[in-house]
Structure formats: structure tokens, C-alpha cells
Amino acid sequence: MTRDFSSSLNPSQLEAVYATEGPVLVIAGAGSGKTRTIVYRLAHLVEQGVSPSSILLLTFTRKASQEMLQRAADLLGEGRGLARVQGGTFHAFAYGMLRRHTPPGWPDRLTVIDRSDAESLIREAKAELGFGKGDRSFPKASTILDNVSKSRNKEFALRDILSNESFHLLPYADEIETLGDTYDRKKRACGMLDYDDLLFALETLLRSDEELLTNVRRRFEHVMVDEYQDTNLVQARLVELIAGKGGNVMAVGDDAQSIYSFRGANVQNILSFPQVFPGARTIRLERNYRSTQPILGFTNQILAQSRLLFEKKLWTEDEGGPTPQIIRPLSDLSQARLVAGKIVELRKEHPPGEIAVLFRAGYQSYHLEVELNKLGIRFAKFGGLKYTEAAHIKDVLSFVRILRNPSDTPSWHRVLAPIKGVGPKTSARLVTSLLSGDREYVDSWRKKRPELDALLGFLDELRSREYSPGTLLEQIVKFYTPQLEERYPDDYPRREAGLEELLQIAAGYKELDLFLADLSLENPEPRGGEREEVVTLSTIHSSKGLEWNAVCIIDLIEDRFPSRHAMNRVEEFEEERRLLYVACTRARKYLALFVPKAVYRRGKETTEPATASPFVREIPGEYYEEWQENYTGGLSQTKGAPEYRRPPSALNPPQQRTKPSGTPGAAASAPPPPAPDPSTMGFCNHKVFGRGKIVAVIPPDKYRVNFPGFGLKVILAQYLEMEGEQGRQSG
């Protein structure tokens, strides 16, 4: 007997619950009740007489599967549990299979190693091969393992991973490749599987044993996969293997929330589901239960320009609420003050725990952290370290503290630490000798260690002159940068961005003592139950799955959002768009995007105009209010069209996507752009760089374009709107 769930579910959710035969793809928009739908479908299957043991539920966390199964059991009631449902992560399922069946190429007895064991094997291989001896910049075992894992999960060559994501490690590419191969041989020889091996070993097993694959398919009559947009290539292949082309498989996810490609997630898995499983039924959950309609109208416009997506339009019955705001600070330096002021304002209406500030990268919140500390507003930060906790920031500030207080022993220990041979005991004696005037001991070490002589000479030079905080920090960072690359060889490019932010903070101060005081103010880390009493600062990646009443997003300008690294590849640019979509859909009632008009350029001691993010410029003005910072202080609402919007022809190049056909909600696919026509050497428009002159064709699908103010750029054809014959002649 089928229970009537119509009073508990909306029509689309109900359709997904009752669609139990054949392949089904559920495109679950943000806040659309995805988990609720899965829970009710589990209960419905059991009520229909499906044995719990024939259901496979694959999730990305053990907690998620346990919650779903418990809620489904509660819904069924009468003691009817779902304990026999095979529910858990892909890796847990793989481990269970591999305990009973040995994959080809592996010994009979297999053990699974954890992260620390895997790093130990890398270190063992490194020692055996003699790599990195005497080279302090040689990458650590953890970094090598990270890149080996990325190579496996993305199924890219290890050298390509280094080129695309860790270019500073390319000088060690040969050694890292050799270590990766040696690491793999060691595991196999000892019968050890790491986290990534579990999935590939299971795939090998199922492809090599047809009888086992048949039995697996017979056992699991119904396969359900949560967060399908986050699957990597091997996970998608495993789903296809286990379910079969025409099996009862339901994938639930949202292509618009696929933001984890750096972990190996591949958005094409969900986009190609209808092709991989012919005849798949596609159901869209578009009713949103989280945000107000003004916020949803805004977020729908973010996706409207996407070139590859399942078309969806989120809506809600909650028509009220304030219109989203785009706030234009005069510069990135004044942005933090405006955001802090907005938080003060929002706290009158919302508890601190219901307010969040989101950003693309962890270092982007440093200015704001200083402002919040000055105002005594407590916060918790997720994703990226607080500036007061980052080792490289502490290193640089130690130089400043010594200048203000020569007796600051901890700071002395920090600046002396990079000097070879100066351990804790020697450091303590050097500090004592320096402060007591024991020149003999200090001079003996200066002769032995020229780098100590250079350090002391540098500190003396700084003491002999009066510097502004900004100039002083510039001198220190210049001296410190070679140490940064040596002390943190694995990720120094990321740390450099944090130092640049520190320099910008310093530039806003005239007094060194005030600068140090503001950076030293304590913001105690909240404990357990105190989270609701503090404002949240978070990277967008760390905010996934969370929601707040009020959300502010900062640094919506070129080079920061999207990041400069995402401007050359279609896939990365579109993921940046999805990242903004995820950020905006975290808001329930209030949403503000901060778009600085200018950025401070250190060295030039001036600010330069900033270009608003293309994702912001694409949104029609009727979906938001624009406010700008006044020269006299405060904010005022602007009238008329936003100043940064260009004509629609320059903003909205012809869409490459095709309209869905056949199954409602089928994936829209972007056909490959035609090869550039060599005769088309006129003018074009680009949504970021504006109007430009085409100067060269780069087969098969790129142009070299000269953009006034930006110079020569190589751009994919599908990102350009070509001007007609008249435009070429008049240019």
C-alpha cells in the first residue's frame, strides 16, 4: 500500500519519491528539500515491499547517511528499521567489498593505511632515493602526497597537476613523479591500500570479475547517490557499474553547486547523467524553503549567463524581504570598515550567529578581522587561518615587535629560528647576550653565521631611521621573502597573498604602536555553545551546506572573484560563477555584495580603479539596489543604471548552450565553438575586457585580441561576441 505523502511534500518532491523504476536524476536546487526527498523515498521503497538489504545509499559523509536512514526509520515507525540498508560513503562501501574479494594485482591480505602511514611511506621512499638531502626547499611528504592524490582523483598526469596548481614545485617534478611511482610499488608489495586506492581497486575488481558484478547488481536493486555533482570520475564509473545502464538508480544533486574540482569533483558527471543512463527521467526541485524571493531572483540571474547547466529557476512563496544590495566602497581599504559597520547594523535585527561574511580566499578577511577586533565584535573564522594565527604573519610581525621592544624574547626566537645551527638553547643565549651587551658571544656567532650578521645589520638599519608602518613593513617583507620561500616551500605563493594583505593593512596607519595594538587585540576562539553568539567569517567553500539570516560577500572585483587564475579556462570560470551562486544562496533574509571601486596599489602609494566582477555586471539592475560610499562618510543609494554596466551587447555574448529537448529538464550542452575564421580580423566584445581588436587567430578555437587598457589577451572564441561587418569597418 502506498502512503499518501502529498501533505508533506510538494509535487516535484512527490514525483521524485514515487519514481522508483529506472534511472532518475533529481536536480535539487539550493534549499529545495533534497534530504527530505531522499528520506521519504527510502521510506516509500520499504513500504512498497523492497527489502532494505537491496538498497544502496551512497553519500559523502557517514553522518549524512546515518541521518537519512534514521529519519526514514522514524517516518516508517512501528519499529520498522532500516538497519539492513547499505548506507555510507563510497570509500566505506569499497572497503567492505575489498575485505571479501581481492582485486587483481594485489596480495590476498589487504590492509588500509591512514594519512600518517601514507606520509611515512613517502618519507621512506624519499630517504631510499636520496631525494632532498640538504635541500630545505624540497617539498614535504604531505605536499607530495596531496599532489599524488590530486593526480589520482582528477585522473591527470602528475606533471600536469603541478603545472596547473603548484607551479612553484615544477623544478622537482621528476623527483615527485618518481616518489609517486615508488610509493605505489611499496603499497602493492605490502598489500596496503590508501584512501584513493579503495575506489580504483573496487573498479578493477568489478570489471575483472563478471560473476561478482552480476551478483552485486542482483543484490542492490535500488541505488541512490547524494550530492552527485561532487563525484569524481571513478565514483561516477562505479555508480554506472553497480547500477547498470537501465538499473534503478537515482542521483540527487545540483550542477550549480559543483565547486570542488580542486578535490577531483567533475561537474560533467551530473551533466552527462541522461546520456550515460539512456531514458533517464529528470526531475527538478525548484521550490526553495530557505531564502526570500528577492534573493532567489538575484541568484537565478547569476546562473542565467551560464553556458552549461540544467535550466532551473528557484522560487518560494515568501515574496517579502529586502532587495539584495550591491555596496560600492570607495576602495578595498575602506571596504572592511563598511562591512564592520553593516554588521553592527545587522546585529540590531539578527543574532550575531545569524550573520556571516563570505570570501573567495582566507586572506581576504584580514582587514575585516582587524576592524572587528577594534569594535570588540567576536567572530569565528572557517577556512583559512586568522591573520594572528598564520605563521608567516607572525614571522613578519616579530621584526616589528623587536623594534618596539628589544626585550621581546619570543619575537627574537622567531626571527633567529631560520638561522642554521641556532636552536632553542643557542637562541636563548644569543638573546641574553644581545640584551646584556656580551659582544664576544654574539660576534663569535656572527663570524660563524653570515646570515646572523645580515639579520642584525638589517635590524640596526631599521632602528636608525623613522619609517611609516607601511614603509617599514615593506622593508621587512622584502628582507623576509627569501626566508618565506625557504621555510614554506610547499605553499609560499599562497602565503605571499597574505603578506600583501598585511602590507595593505599597514598602509592605513600612521603610528606603529597603534598598528601593533590593533593587530594584537584578542578575539578569543568561541567554545562549543558560544557559536551562536559570534559572527561567522568563512571562505565560500567552507560555507557549503550552511545558511544564515544575513550574508555579506566581499571583494567582488576582477582578480579576486573570479580569481585571476580562472580567467583563461572555461571550466574554471564557470566554477567561479557557481561559487558565487553558492555564496548567495546561503542567505535567508538579507544579502549584500561588496564591490570596491578602487584597489590600493602598494609601491605606487595610490589607488587604481577596480573592475567589478563580471558576475555582478551581468545582473540586471532591477534585481538589486546599489549603494555607494560617500566621500563625506556613510552610504547613499544610487539612481539610474549602475555605473559599471556596459551595454548588453558587450555583456551578454550569444549563448552557446542549446535548449533542452526530450526529457523535461535535460542537460543543456555547449557544442564546441567553431574554429575561428582567419578572415575575421575585426572587432569583438568581451564581458570582462570590453571592446577589442582581433590581431591574430590561434587554431583551433582562440583569438589574440588587443584590449585598450588591458593589452594583448588570448581568449577562447566562445567568450567573444564578434562585431558585424559594419562594426569592423567603423572601428
Annotated binding-site residues for ATP read: 28-35
C-alpha cell at 114: 591512514
Q: Quote the CA–CA distance of 355 and 347 in Å, as a whole number.
A: 8
Cβ neighbours of 180 (radius 10 Å):
20
Residue 98 gets the label, from left (phi > 0), alpha (psi -120 to 50) or beta, of alpha
Residue 459, all three cell numbers: 635590524
Complete DSSP assignment for 486-513: HHSTTTHHHHHHHHHHHHHHHHT-S-HH
Known binding site: residues? 28-35
Cβ partners under 8 Å of residue 471, min gap 6: none
DSSP, collapsed to helix, strand or coil, labels residue 149 as: helix
The DSSP secondary-structure symbol of 169 reads G
Give the up-direction half-sphere exposure of residue 336: CA atoms within 13 A in the CB hemisphere: 20
Helix axes 492-507, 391-404, angle to 10 degrees: 40
Query: Do strands 548-553 and 535-539 pair parallel, antiparallel, or not at all (unpaired)?
Result: unpaired
Helix, strand, or coil (residue 590):
strand
The two beta strands, 281-285 and 24-28, are parallel
Rounded Cα distance between 718 and 570, Å, is 9
Among 519, 173, 204, 222, CA closest to 373: 519
3-state secondary structure 34-97: HHHHHHHHHHHHHHCCCCHHHEEEEECCHHHHHHHHHHHHHHHCCCCCCCCCEEEEHHHHHHHH
CA-based Rg of the chain, rounded to a whole angstrom? Answer: 29
- Count of residues in the chain: 731
Torsion angles phi and psi, residue 670, rounded to 5: -95, 110
Q: Residue 618 and residue 405: Cα distance in Å, rounded? A: 52
Instruction: Kindly tell me the number of DSSP H helices and DSSP E strands found in the chain.
Output: 29, 23
Element (H, E) at 123: helix 115-129
CA distance 284 to 267: 17
* Residue type present at position 479: F
690-698 and 702-707 beta bridge pairing: antiparallel
What amino acid is encoded at 310 in this protein?
F
Q: Tell me, rounded to whole angstroms, the distance of Cα 304 from its chain centroid.
A: 22
- Alpha-carbon gap, residue 553 to 593, rounded angstroms: 5
**In 3D, which of 26, 465, 604, 21 has the Cα closest to residue 283?**
26
Contact 598, 333 (CB under 8 A): no
Cα–Cα dist 356/363, whole Å: 16
- CB 511, CB 332: distance < 8 Å: no
Residues ≥6 apart with Cβ < 8 Å to 465? none
Query: Within a 13 Å sphere around the CA of 99, how many CA atoms are in the beta-carbon half?
Result: 7
For residue 344, what are the CA distances in angstroms to 348, 415, 513, 635, 637?
Answer: 7, 38, 26, 14, 19
